[in-house]
Amino acid sequence: MARLPHDWEKRLQESPFADRHFTEKLQRNVNRRLNHPPQRKLRRWIYAAVILPLVALVLVIGYSSGGFSSLTGRPDHGAVSSGENSPDPGAAGTQSPALSFPSADPSGDEVQLPLVAVLAVPSVDDGYPAVRNPVPALPEMTFPLSAEMADQLQATLVYGADGKSSYLLLSPAGWVASAVIGANGSYGLTFTDPADPAQTLAYTDTNWSCQGCAISDIGLYFPEKADWAEDSGFPVYVPLHFKSRELLGTGGAAGRTVRYALQPDKDGLLADGAAYYEEGSWGYLIRRIELRHASGIPENAAMESILGFFAAVHGALILPESGPESGEADPAPYSTSDLLSTLEQQG
């Protein structure tokens, strides 16, 4: 079998092409563009002259037909929301009954975490009324927590207005949650520390959609898959600078789960996270959680529990999809009080 010529790299010192490609015409183009920059101001005026009457027309039609009722504050029973998670006062972050976790200490009592309900709304309103769906039943928790976590963590139930994408996560106690469902079906949640908004906990799940996002993220967080990602057409352009990185196993789901820490960013914030991916015959998904925090905040034990819960259930704890109780959709919008009362009934 012939091998590469031993001096093959020397041959690369020659020009790859015999012909010139950066021609005089291209050079003239450069000079012309420098001497005659595009007439942006004139172009702006032209655009303004065309667009402003159109905007005015849209506004007139919108207001006269009531299409902007959600923006003017009038109640609109048809709209899911205007893109916020808590269309009703007190929806997101409202304290709910506690959720019990087994104690990490075999002789200890159950650990009770406050349960916070967050309503996730589609980022794109499909124009149909919100459907009253039953709150999914919460399974018995099996992830063990130490007793001191009762004061440091909260359990957050994200409940999709569409009855889908309901899931449960752990987060630092008191952090404010904001959840959204993307137009392509992916979803995510961001917690913000009210005392220091730069500190966040972000969770995302591509949910088998956006294959490009999933493949490039798999290549990013699992560098051993970077070549595969590139061969799939989604190369990693800017690799992450891991401070530490550990695959949680060599096979199965653990082999597709990684814990990592990144070098401090320009603001000095640390990032600790975990990622998990799946490959199916229909595509790929990746779930990620990342805590950006100042050094030592929150306590390491709390962070270990948050990321440990993610690693244990390979993402957030996905709750079974719930549909309308009757065969037909109830056009009444789902209210926060309904959500909380149902949670209370379920204990």
Residues at the contact surface with another protein, assessed by CB under 8 A: 1-5, 8-22, 26-27, 29-31, 33-34, 212, 227, 230-235, 237-239
**What type of residue is 320?**
P
Looking only at the bridges linking them, the beta strands covering 317-318 and 176-181 are: unpaired
Minimum CB–partner distance for residue 263 and another protein (Å): 11
Between 1 and 49, CB nearer to another protein: 1
Beta carbons within 10 angstroms of residue 205's beta carbon: 24
Name the H helices within 147-251.
149-152, 211-221, 226-231
Beta carbons within 10 angstroms of residue 269's beta carbon: 17
Q: What six digits make up the tokens of 29? A: 């183009």
Beta carbons within 10 angstroms of residue 125's beta carbon: 15
The CB-based long-range contact list for 298-304 (8 Å cut-off, 24+ gap) reads: 298/152, 298/172, 299/152, 301/146, 301/148, 301/149, 301/152, 302/149, 302/152, 302/153, 302/172, 303/272
Between 16 and 75, CB nearer to another protein: 16
Minimum CB–partner distance for residue 139 and another protein (Å): 38
Between 182 and 315, CB nearer to another protein: 182
- Cβ–Cβ under 8 Å, residues 210 and 184: yes
Minimum CB–partner distance for residue 237 and another protein (Å): 7
Between 103 and 232, CB nearer to another protein: 232
Between 20 and 74, CB nearer to another protein: 20
Beta carbons within 10 angstroms of residue 156's beta carbon: 29
Between 203 and 234, CB nearer to another protein: 234
Minimum CB–partner distance for residue 269 and another protein (Å): 21
| Residues contacting residue 122 through CB under 8 Å, at least 6 positions apart | 80, 161, 162, 180, 181, 183
Between 31 and 72, CB nearer to another protein: 31
Minimum CB–partner distance for residue 288 and another protein (Å): 21
Instruction: Provide the β-strand partners of residue 278.
Output: 285
Minimum CB–partner distance for residue 17 and another protein (Å): 6
Minimum CB–partner distance for residue 242 and another protein (Å): 11
Between 26 and 198, CB nearer to another protein: 26
Using alpha carbons, select from 231, 4, 34, 267 the residue that is nearest to residue 218.
231
Minimum CB–partner distance for residue 290 and another protein (Å): 21
Using alpha carbons, select from 178, 82, 73, 69 the residue that is nearest to residue 130.
82
